[in-house]
Structure 1
């Protein structure tokens, strides 16, 4: 089994950077006008600043793990010279520097940019997209060369960004739906319903991008000739688990869109949305749990040799 520290750091980075991208995007495609101001509906400023700081810390830890692996020593014995060599002398180090710069820019905008909330959310989304895209260079997407390499890298980036929109929306919806009971006034429930309905439309595009980019990645990483024996390997078993969890998320998302969200609208018309809110809370919790499990599997898969590598 690969180093659990490396898997944990990769999981943390996936979750952190996807939240950094998905949360401000949620504010742009769901909230309107003054609702985008930090603290009006969602506390963008402290939440994004905290996540950006965590992302910087995880990136530093990830660089130390990589340097230790390249040096063949435990992480506690890695020296500064080796770290400097990886940062300044490798393509991975160059990409890492881009990520750190993007995260510092996010930290700046999350703290001082809220006089113009729409501009702040747009700038944060762009910087976060850059930071999230750098993860494609730390996985299998950067292993190929030529035209195939660019196709693989592009599919990886699309996959990451689409997943980030979904993860960020789940977090934002949970923040809305799980707010203290004292704040669950009728207007807040109406806003939550509008947010759920807004994400339902965006979610259709997200799912399409995830499926198309996932198919492209699978064709490159596995290849048609390896499909028959795929699930006899650890890579195949983990991939099967990821696909099953993704299927569960699709079912939950469909239930939210076609049953639970309309039920909330009906309940609001009748004057009592508490039961519908409880159902949505359960569904969002399960969907979020599936998402985190998928990211854990992806973090593990990124450290295994895919079947197409022949290893």
Structure 2
């Protein structure tokens, strides 16, 4: 995709049947978990990776491991996103692939604190808007670009016990759908990575709901990353690492009352534990 890289060497395309060799890639939230696994998988596939995380030491460690370049900092706020993209372009020459992986999992419902709701909106939704606002002009001019949003299956279904997470992940999915519907004919490839449970610190913080709903079928971050690369290579919009997700999504869409009754039964079972 990229026509040039900062050191003058060529870069490979990530179009149909994506070959990631030489691709200039940015991965946010890449200090651990799915983000770190994405950085490792992309580097192993030959991509040149910029590793971003709020945890500067974690970002530098993953960058050192993958031969990438660490750009620690915020990947959600206006200033942080702009600084990340500027630094990545300085390093890569052009950004071919942006993996918007950073996210926050806030528990609770209407009782969740206003600042918890605000943080979820900023990181899980507006970070995507701010990144694409800066990425799209170059991508549309070149007629090529690739955007991977780590959405979570909560964006397709819901996550009991966590209204801010569920609502904002629905928003992230809706924005990814809008991007694809609007710019697909101009060369933009958009992907929504929607795993269920993944063995990360985020899963550890989901409490009883996560242990009942997610932990039994949780996969390793490397498995989610491998599915992400496979799905991008196949130009799939929805990338579903868990085989049962598609059926659950179809049931939600076609028999919503039955699906909601089933989810409510699960909620009652968790409350009775």
TM-score bucket (shorter structure): 0.3 to 0.5
Indicate the structure (1 or 2) with the bigger Cα radius of gyration.
1
**Higher share of residues assigned helix:** 1
Greater length-normalized contact order (CA 8 Å, ≥ 6 residues apart): 1
**Higher share of residues assigned strand:** 2
**TM-score, normalisation: structure 2:** 0.33
